Amino acid sequence: MAQTSVDSSATEQPKPLRILIIGAGIGGLTAALALRQQGHDVQIFESSKLAQETGAAIHLASNANGLLRRLGLDAEAIGGVECVGVVEYIPQTGAVKYQIDTAKMGKMWQHPWHLVHRAHLHSALKEMATGSEGKGQAAKLHVASRVQTVDAKNCTITLEDGSTVQGDFVVGADGVHSRARTSIPGGDKQPFDSGKSAFRFLLPTDVLSSDPQTAEFISKTGYLTMWIAEDRRLIMYPCVNNTMMNFVAIHPSKESEADITGAGWQETGSKARMLEIYKSFAPSIRAILEKADESKLKVWQLLDMEQMPSFIHEKLAVIGDAAHPFLPHQGQGGGQAIEDGVALAAVLPMGTTPADVKERLQIFEECRYERAHKIQSFTRTAGMDTAELAAKGEKLDMMVYMAYNFGHDAWDYATNALQKHLKSKDKSLRFRSPIEFGAAPGPRRPLCFHPNATKLNALRQKTPETSRTYSIKFRTSRTYLQNLLPAGFAFTSPATAVSATISCTTLDGMAWLAGGGYSHLGLYIHGINYTKRDGSKVFGTYLPVLFENLADPIITGRDELGMPKLFADIDVKENADKDCEIALSWRGTTFGTFTLSDLNEETPVANGEQSSAPVQRGPGPPPPPPEQGTFFYRYVPAVGEPGKSDVEYPVLAPKPEADAGTEFPKSFATKTATISLRAEDWQALPTLHHVSEWLAGMPIYGVEEAKLVRSTGVTDLSGARRIE
């Protein structure tokens, strides 16, 4: 039976991972912020100078908004407007087709749906990830640092200037035209035109409200507004504290392809062409398009891509558009990049070692692959023209899509997946009812697996675990005690007088109880053997009952070891290692009193030995075989079947081995000791009277020895096993 030892590795501070992120878009910055908050050392390499504000507005639906809030970013603080409704107009007439109050629907979701300017979100994320404020060490941002290649195995990135940087883990967040993606086998996917392109522009809200033709469209604040025709649509929503309206005009690519030269997000669109493309729309809608500032009008192809075979390889993970480029039809591109970044951080908490990274990325992939692709597939369907939907037999069910998209928390999901994984790997974890809350802390759970391991081990080193055991060994009746023993157990000696010990231990400084302690008192019957099925015998001391004055060790001991523990109050009154009086009671009814007087210090005994074994000299019966440990009998009643057990078997807790690292115990002995056991009725001891009656009936023929043993280091009985 081993002493609970301190794992020195648990006292070392865990080391942060060195994480290299390629791309400072929304995905890369979210990952940087979340990983920084986990305590890691993060560097971001961004190809651009990040000098100009780019893009227009972006959706932060409940699923993304909740994650940003968790990271400390409030959409309201960056001008986010809550989306309270959706309205669709008939494009040709401008009349309302339908209207939904999403704020009411929003009650179903944990977090609101916000509409924010992409540049405001981007700069807030950048500040939080790289600024001096906030949890963890600021991520280091390298701008104008284009990454050319990634060596996923050696975690090395090579920049355009030929320099290399090595880390413990690489995140490819380099967008739809990702270089990192090509380092994943089968990842050399090329994005392709989905068949649709989009004009993007912003207009001040008051420009629209001051024109009677367009004022109606913004009469309700916080609305996502759509004009959907057969193969083209116009989407409008507010941002920047409702002072700006964001427009996305999605149309067949071939109609604007003359404007697209390949400049990506910065391509400038032609207003005349936009008006031509939307010529079938009602004049009131065209009046909106007329107001666009051509110098700021952007147009880009909406790119799609074949599914990646995997988002991970070796120590590289790709996230956001690099892993799964999104069409804009559900406003989930940014949201999924945010989910990716947060999920990555969730599976890489502080304490993750470089060697753990590969398997953690597997968990990341399990959390993200199916969900990102499912939302991509919903998005493709949501963008289909009416004819295409009919031809493909697809059904559009936005409510189903929204429920799936919005009702997910990527942090909780990934954290839970990590916990499940750790549980499946960690054979030291103990589970006791209730199991729903995860593994149970307790005396036999090594502290190195405990989230507070460092603090607990420090406490343990500062305040050692100590025990003080008062024991009175006495002669008693073999026949009286024999009746108590379960089948298979017997006294080894044929003598009619046998020995038993009442032993009371007070434990202090117990690390698993955060430095607290408790007392236990038990009856130990010596000279017992158990005959196994093959006829061989095991020798030991039998423990029929152990009283304890704290629920926690009773529960852990009964559940994990099968020990016969019961609750009782144990009052130990000591006088400087000289005298002691112990009272065993329950709610004021004392049913056992034990005294030891005139204790005197003995010469030190070998560590781990409670008493020296008698040495056989001269003629007489052979000495009893050495005892191998303590026996007890596990019994678990069956639910709903009175009188039956779910399981019952004998257990042996082997004797502790001498531990070179612990001090020799101090031992004090006396011949002056008393035992007084009283039978109490069911009214005084409603749940213990049967035990008290049995104990009080036990004859006491005389005290053999009485002792106090003080020692440091407490056994956790983790060696206890079924005998067979």
Which of the residues are catalytic? 200, 237
Judged by CB under 6 A, the chain residues 180 through 209 that form the site for ligand FAD are: 200
Of positions 14, 15, 48, 490, contacts ligand FAD by CB under 6 A? 48
Q: Which stretch binds ligand FAD (CB under 6 A): 25-33, 103-111, 429-437, 691-699?
A: 25-33
Measured between alpha carbons, how far is 287 from 227 in angstroms, rounded to an integer? 14
Q: Which is nearer to ligand FAD, 18 or 146 (CB)?
A: 146
Strand partners, 629: 654
Judged by CB under 6 A, the chain residues 52 through 91 that form the site for ligand FAD are: 54-56, 58
Distance of closest approach, residue 298 Cβ to ligand FAD, in angstroms: 8
Nearest to 263 by CA among 235, 318, 301: 301
Distance of closest approach, residue 450 Cβ to ligand FAD, in angstroms: 36
Instruction: Let me know: does 604 contact 664? Beta carbons within 8 Å.
Output: yes
Distance of closest approach, residue 325 Cβ to ligand FAD, in angstroms: 7
Q: What SS3 class is residue 654?
A: strand
Structure tokens given for 542 = 């039998």
What is the pattern of x (binds ligand FAD, CB under 6 A) and - over residues 450-469? --------------------
Element (H, E) at 357: helix 357-382
Of positions 16, 27, 39, 654, contacts ligand FAD by CB under 6 A? 27
Give the helix ranges, DSSP H, for 202-266: 205-209, 212-215
Instruction: Let me know: does 457 contact 465? Beta carbons within 8 Å.
Output: no
Structure tokens given for 212 = 């009677």
Distance of closest approach, residue 326 Cβ to ligand FAD, in angstroms: 5
Q: Which stretch binds ligand FAD (CB under 6 A): 26-34, 223-231, 383-391, 577-585?
A: 26-34
What is the pattern of x (binds ligand FAD, CB under 6 A) and - over residues 288-327? --------------------------------xxx---x-
Judged by CB under 6 A, the chain residues 138 through 177 that form the site for ligand FAD are: 146-147, 173-175
Q: Is residue 45 within the footprint of ligand FAD (CB under 6 A)?
A: yes
Q: Which is nearer to ligand FAD, 82 or 321 (CB)?
A: 321
Judged by CB under 6 A, the chain residues 254 through 283 that form the site for ligand FAD are: 265
SS3 content of the chain, % helix, strand, coil (to 5): 30, 30, 40
Of positions 6, 19, 21, 23, contacts ligand FAD by CB under 6 A? 23
* Residue 681 backbone dihedrals phi, psi, to 5 degrees: -85, 180
Of positions 40, 111, 114, 118, contacts ligand FAD by CB under 6 A? 118
Structure tokens given for 648 = 């019952």
- For β-strands 114-117 and 57-60, DSSP reports them as antiparallel
Q: Is residue 608 within the footprint of ligand FAD (CB under 6 A)?
A: no
Q: Which is nearer to ligand FAD, 55 or 665 (CB)?
A: 55
Distance of closest approach, residue 51 Cβ to ligand FAD, in angstroms: 12
Q: Which is nearer to ligand FAD, 46 or 465 (CB)?
A: 46
Tell me how many degrees the CA angle 91-96-102 measures, rounded to the nearest 5.
115
Judged by CB under 6 A, the chain residues 565 through 594 that form the site for ligand FAD are: none
Neighbours of 92 (CB within 10 A): 12
Of positions 66, 238, 334, 527, contacts ligand FAD by CB under 6 A? 334
* ω into 654 cis (within 30 of 0): no
Helices 26-37/333-347 angle, 10° precision: 30
Of positions 46, 314, 339, 409, contacts ligand FAD by CB under 6 A? 46
Distance of closest approach, residue 247 Cβ to ligand FAD, in angstroms: 10
Distance of closest approach, residue 52 Cβ to ligand FAD, in angstroms: 9
Q: Applying CB under 6 A, what is the total number of residues that bind ligand FAD?
A: 32
Distance of closest approach, residue 341 Cβ to ligand FAD, in angstroms: 8
Instruction: Let me know: does 91 contact 97? Beta carbons within 8 Å.
Output: no
Q: Which is nearer to ligand FAD, 330 or 469 (CB)?
A: 330
Distance of closest approach, residue 657 Cβ to ligand FAD, in angstroms: 57
Of positions 6, 24, 198, 695, contacts ligand FAD by CB under 6 A? 24
Q: Which is nearer to ligand FAD, 326 or 489 (CB)?
A: 326
Q: Which is nearer to ligand FAD, 43 or 541 (CB)?
A: 43
* Residue 390 backbone dihedrals phi, psi, to 5 degrees: -65, -45
Q: Is residue 553 within the footprint of ligand FAD (CB under 6 A)?
A: no
Q: Is residue 337 within the footprint of ligand FAD (CB under 6 A)?
A: yes
Tell me whether residue 671 is exposed, middle or buried, using C-beta atoms within 10 angstroms of its C-beta: 0 to 12, 13 to 18, 19 or more.
exposed
Measured between alpha carbons, how far is 709 from 608 in angstroms, rounded to an integer? 11
Measured between alpha carbons, how far is 469 from 669 in angstroms, rounded to an integer? 12
- For β-strands 721-722 and 645-654, DSSP reports them as antiparallel
Of positions 6, 19, 20, 26, contacts ligand FAD by CB under 6 A? 26
Q: Which is nearer to ligand FAD, 192 or 431 (CB)?
A: 192
Distance of closest approach, residue 249 Cβ to ligand FAD, in angstroms: 13
Task: State which amino acid sits at residue 234.
Answer: L
Q: Which is nearer to ligand FAD, 256 or 506 (CB)?
A: 256
Q: Which is nearer to ligand FAD, 111 or 126 (CB)?
A: 126
Instruction: Let me know: does 696 contact 452? Beta carbons within 8 Å.
Output: no
DSSP state of 715: B
Structure tokens given for 412 = 């909780």
Distance of closest approach, residue 453 Cβ to ligand FAD, in angstroms: 36
Q: Which is nearer to ligand FAD, 64 or 653 (CB)?
A: 64
Task: State which amino acid sits at residue 473.
Answer: K
Count CA atoms within 13 Å of residue 712 on its CB side: 12
Tell me whether residue 125 is exposed, middle or buried, using C-beta atoms within 10 angstroms of its C-beta: 0 to 12, 13 to 18, 19 or more.
buried
Q: What beta strand segments (E) does 94-144 contain?
A: 96-100, 114-117, 140-142
209: Cβ contacts below 8 Å, ≥ 6 apart: 215, 218
Structure tokens given for 159 = 């920049």
- Give the footprint of ligand FAD on this chain (CB under 6 A): 22-28, 45-48, 54-56, 58, 118, 146-147, 173-175, 179, 200, 265, 320-322, 326, 328, 333-334, 337
